[in-house]
Amino acid sequence: MERYIVALILCTFLIACQDEISLDLPIPEEAIVVEGSIENDSIAVVVLTRNAPYFSEFNFNDLDEYFVKDADVRVTDGTDTVQLSELTVPSSAGFEFTVYADLQFEMIGEFGKTYWLLVESDGTSLRAKTTIPHVQSIDSLFYRPVNENNDTLVMLRAQMADPDTLGNYYRSFTKVNSDLFWPPLNSIGDDLFINGVAFEFPIFRGQPRSDELDPNTYGFFTRGDTVVVKFCAIDAVHYDFWATMEQQLGQEGSPFASPTEILGNIEGGLGIWGGYGATYETVYIEE
């Protein structure tokens, strides 16, 4: 919140002036970036990419080099191990993604289980561990007008009872009509502050960060929308990843912010291998 205050004060009092500059920076060590997840009743999906010097050129034609191909990607639950298949998915922008997935449906995520990810690529070995925690379902989902004068926008509210034991971590996503599931800008929460309490909280509409943020409408839904809320329990390490990443992105451009290093869980690489204990709730917002 501090950054809003700071921004407000700076805008009000000061005439800041900005100039483009060029920086001479060291080259970061080459690393493989993992974006992988496994959810209850679903299969493991992993995307492997590479990091790059911040100001290096990146052309969409270079995507072949950006995605890590021909890697050996396995998931094990300690008893069974599956190898994920590499597949190429075309995107709407005209280029292709490389994804690794358990297309044979050999290992379906189960609540309470631990899953290890093992990756071998060109002599680089990566390893990570996650769990799929049990999730407390949302008790009810409802909406109300944003304010008295607004008859098109509504805010979504949920009610739930946090379990009595400390150490529950949550992440939420929303899907509006036929769009994809997107997390809101702050998608995570924990129960250190609200342990064991039955409480009501807002569910913000998720959106890609690249979409323009309109402070007048951010997080709200429109009458006539059908909204699916994906509410997930995640483990502590998984939570730390999104907490640090969202903090880093959230304070981008703030003069007072100190650097937030993203805490991943990949031994030998960057990124996250995360388990989701997910529940889905749907609500239709009447016109």
Partner 1 sequence: MKDNRAFKAMIAVLLFLSCMLLFSLESKAQVKYTLSGYLKDASSGETLIGANVFDAEERSFGATTNLYGFYSLTLPEGKYKLEFSYIGYESVFAEINLVEDVNYNLEMKLKGFSAAEEIVVRAERQDENVNSADMGKVELSVDKIKNLPALLGEVDVLKTIQLLPGVMSSGEGNSGFYVRGGGPDQNLILLDDATVFNTGHLLGFFSVFNADAIKNTTLIKGGMPAQYGGRLSSVLDISMKDGNMKRFQATGGIGLLSSRLTLEGPIKKEVSSFMISGRRTYAFELAKPGIDRTDFAGTSYYFYDLNAKVNYRFSDKDRLYLSGYFGRDVLNYKFNNRDLELRMPYGNITTTLRWNHLFSNKLFMNASAIYNDYQFKFGFGAQDFDFTLESGVKDANFKLDFDYYPIATHKIKFGANYTYHTFIPNAASGSSGEVEFEGIENRQYAHEFAAYVQDEIDLADWLKVNLGLRWSRFQQIGPYEQYLYDDFGIPRDTIFFDRGETIKAYQGLEPRASARVKLNNVSSMKAGVSWNAQYLHLVSIGNTSLPADLWLPSNVNVEPQRGVQYSVGYFRNFQENMYEASIELYYKNMKNQIRYAQGYVPELGVDPDEGFIYGSGRSFGSEFFLRKNFGDLNGWVGYTISKTDREFEDLNRGERFPAKYDRTHDLSVVLSYTLSENWTFGGAFVFGTGTAFTLPIGRYLINGDIVYEYGDVNSYRIKDYHRMDLSATWKSSKKKRWDSSWTFSVYNIYNRKNTFFIFYDAEFSIEEQQLNTKAYSVALFPIIPSVTYNFKF
3-state SS class at 148: coil
* Measured distance CA(231)–CA(225) in Å, rounded: 18
Between 82 and 188, name the residue whose CB sits nearer to partner 1: 188
Cβ 213 to partner 1 shortest distance, Å: 13
Total chain residues near partner 1 (CB under 8 A)? 84
Q: How many CB atoms lie within 10 A of CB 282?
A: 10
- Does residue 257 belong to the site contacting partner 1 (CB under 8 A)? yes
Cβ-proximal residues to 145 (8 Å cutoff; 6+ apart), any chain: 151, 153, 154, 155
Residues 40-79 that bind partner 1 (CB under 8 A): 49-55, 57-61
Exactly one of 245, 266, 278, 283 binds partner 1 (CB under 8 A); that residue is 245
Cβ 52 to partner 1 shortest distance, Å: 6
Between 45 and 83, name the residue whose CB sits nearer to partner 1: 45
* Measured distance CA(79)–CA(94) in Å, rounded: 40
Between 58 and 105, name the residue whose CB sits nearer to partner 1: 58
Nearest 5°: the CA angle 85, 280, 98 is 20
Cβ 160 to partner 1 shortest distance, Å: 11
Strands 169-176, 188-190: pairing is antiparallel
* Measured distance CA(275)–CA(114) in Å, rounded: 8
Stretch that binds partner 1, among 72-80, 129-137, 208-216, 221-229 (CB under 8 A): 208-216
Residues 134-173 that bind partner 1 (CB under 8 A): 146-147, 155, 166-167
Read off φ and ψ for residue 111, nearest 5 degrees.
-60, 140
Residues 78-97 that bind partner 1 (CB under 8 A): 93
Pick from 135, 136, 109, 130: nearest CA to 118: 130
Between 108 and 166, name the residue whose CB sits nearer to partner 1: 166
Between 109 and 271, name the residue whose CB sits nearer to partner 1: 271
- What's the token pair of residue 207? 């959106």
Between 35 and 281, name the residue whose CB sits nearer to partner 1: 35
Identity of the residue numbered 114: T
Cβ 140 to partner 1 shortest distance, Å: 13
- Does residue 190 belong to the site contacting partner 1 (CB under 8 A)? yes
* Measured distance CA(50)–CA(57) in Å, rounded: 14
- Does residue 260 belong to the site contacting partner 1 (CB under 8 A)? yes
**Which residue carries 């749907």 as its tokens?**
282
Q: Which helix (H) or strand (E) holds 229?
A: strand 226-234
Residues 99-128 that bind partner 1 (CB under 8 A): none
Cβ 220 to partner 1 shortest distance, Å: 9
Exactly one of 70, 90, 123, 216 binds partner 1 (CB under 8 A); that residue is 216
